Amino acid sequence: MFFVESYYVAIAMCVVTMLCWGSWANTQKLASKEWRFQLFYWDYCLGVLLLMVVFALTLGSMGSTGRGFFEDLSQASLRSLGYAFLGGVVFNAANILLVAAIDMAGMAVAFPVGIGLALVIGVFTNYWNKPEGNPQILFTGVALVVAAIIVDALAYRRLPSSGTTATWKGIALSIVCGVLMGFFYPLVDSSMQSLDTIKTVSDSGLLTPYTALVFFGLGLFLSSFVFNVAVMKWPFKGDPVPLSDYFTKGNARLHAVGILGGVIWGVGMSFNIVASGVASPAVAYGLGQGATMVAALWGVFIWKEFKTAAPGTNRLLALMFALFLIGLSLLVYAKLPGSAEATAALLPF
């Protein structure tokens, strides 16, 4: 089984997560020009599951250290499998709201509000479960992320379309998404064996990261037959979407774009879960959710979502990016060796 033991390699993997989680939604933006997001979402979920199965059968089964996927599956407890599966269900409920919010309000708004809020909640919940890292630095970073979300909201209010019903509904969906998404990661983490014991204990009932990811992917995919079917029948905007449209209006290119979106997100999730054993869940999740900044960059500079904003909005956007960048840097620094001593030396009390 492939795993990492270097903190710096783990941080690099979390940076990959940040890029993947902040970029996958571009595939939705591309597909939404030709069909509804609910149809895109079926392929996205399939892409996530396929990627995680492939990783489990390759990275999760190679080498002589740790348990391979099938060996791990044979000793897994129902409780551990259930936690990983439930993590996928909770994530899916949040993510489908995010996709709907992107459709209504754009990436530069939905991500900073929804995923920024998820970052704040997720860091707190993950730190509560596993208090690792310097809390002063960690939560200072979180506070700066909160400030970045507020600045993004101020910038959004300068758009001519910011008062429309659809865009305010998109913000409301982003908030609900953020609350839900802040809680899925601890569920997946609770299903996994710690890195310290995974090499020596063979029958704990807990899972390797790769088995946990497969059941997370199953939870995501299967729960879509509830969540996505519901939003097809009762969409947040527009007419209901018949399931038959998936087969009659799609083509190979559209399906490939959706699957690619799921693969990109799945790579990010897989890297993050594997890295969390060294970086700590709070730091790994918090840094990964720096995707908010990446998505906002796409939204601002590629999709031009603020091109009609009032003069002076660019200064607010620059401040938002600066706050995100400093906040994320503090999340990384929070678990560096000697960070606690360095912080104590700087404090006057």
Q: Is 302 helix (H, G, I), strand (E, B) or coil?
A: helix
DSSP state letters, 94-133: HHHHHHHHHHHH-HHHHIIIIIHHHHHHHHHHHHHHS--S
- Rg value, the chain, Cα: 20
Domain spans of the chain, in order of start: 8-338
pLDDT at 165: 66
What angle (nearest 5°) sits at the alpha carbon of residue 243, between those of residues 237 and 244?
Answer: 125
Residue 316: the pLDDT is 92
pLDDT digits (tens, 9 = 90+) for 5-40: 899 999 999 999 999 998 998 999 899 889 999 999
**Cβ neighbours of residue 119 under 8 Å, at least 6 residues apart?**
142, 145, 182, 285, 286, 289, 290, 292
pLDDT in tens, 42-101: 999 999 999 999 999 999 998 777 789 999 999 999 999 999 999 999 999 999 998 888
Q: What is the mean pLDDT of the chain?
A: 88
pLDDT at 282: 87
Of 284, 318, 277, nearest in space to 301 by CA: 318
107-111, 175-179, 293-297, 298-302: segment of lowest average pLDDT = 107-111
Q: Is the pLDDT of residue 110 over 90?
A: no
pLDDT number for residue 85 = 98
* pLDDT per residue as tens digits for the range 300-349: 888 887 888 888 899 999 999 999 899 988 988 888 765 555 444 444 43
64 phi/psi in degrees, rounded to 5:
-105, -5
Query: pLDDT tens digit string along 118-138?
Result: 888 989 898 998 888 889 999
Give the model's pLDDT for residue 349.
39
- If pLDDT is split at 50, 70 and 90, which confidence band does 287 have? confident
Per-residue pLDDT of 175-217, as tens digits, reads 999 999 999 999 999 999 987 787 777 778 999 999 999 999 9
Query: In the prediction, which pLDDT does 347 show?
Result: 44
Q: What global pTM score does this model have? A: 0.87
Number of helices (H), then strands (E), in the chain: 18, 0
